[in-house]
Structure 1
């Protein structure tokens, strides 16, 4: 067997040393002719997007502003509140009370004196009211018995 590519046999150096001039070919890119979009295609795209946006906007239910509700009168607002509470009982819970005191569903509470607070952490940085601290400690103890470590 006279195969110069096999290991252990010397290769013919005259064949190996000849390096062609164009060893690395020049990178040539194929140019694709990109046709610019015509004006009517762009206009049609814009009109289509506006139409889709208009349809989407028209499907969103519009809620009346607070000023419009106050102008409509007490009778219509109480009737609409009754209808709304029948349809959605959760909404009736949020509408009860004075709207000035209710900010995003959060009611104001009086502030507890710092002497009435009990620490719930070892370093004492986090404090709760006495009843809440007892419930938290009971919850943490139950979690610890279950193998859960609260951080």
Structure 2
């Protein structure tokens, strides 16, 4: 029996797990963990962005809703009709530059703007041909001149400011500053100069009928809206664009 050969079978040897396989497994698990963390972080960021976007959209919608719900602002009357630049019923006027003025009398004491001066002299000549003598009393006035006529005369006569303003404009607010205004008298009735009685003279009647042909008009007729005393002697030239804009551009419609 001892001589019977025993077939020898090859039993597979148990190979121990190598360090490589362990490292691979650990590395794989670590990679999976990293991917999971990255995925989680990405999802978290997207959720936060979504929440912020939703909040922003809600805010925009809310603001839009509020803007829609708010009534449209209504323009106040003041925005349509700017406050008038007036003092005691008189409008503000710029002082004409000296270079724009020319004399209308021989001694050069009374001046007007060139266009107004030419028109006045033509009007005076036409009146004389009709036997009427127009006399210029006052033309352009500086701020200094008007300061005396308003404040100086007011003090001399003991007038209240509101009363003085009915017959004279404060400095800076006189039509005479423009070089387009003129006070006219009757050479045959000097006692009526700068008086309401001037309306009874031949000069006033001629002016009333003919002044418009020379682009002159009465500045302060009876019952004028400015509340200035009736001045039949005070006329202004409105025969070109500049003079027209000077007197009427900024005035509100009545």
Q: TM-score range by the shorter chain?
A: 0.3 to 0.5
The structure with the largest alpha-carbon Rg is 2
The TM-score with structure 1 as length reference comes to 0.34
Q: Determine which structure has the larger strand proportion and give its number.
A: 2
Whose relative contact order is higher, 1 or 2, with alpha carbons under 8 Å and at least 6 apart?
Answer: 2
The TM-score with structure 2 as length reference comes to 0.21
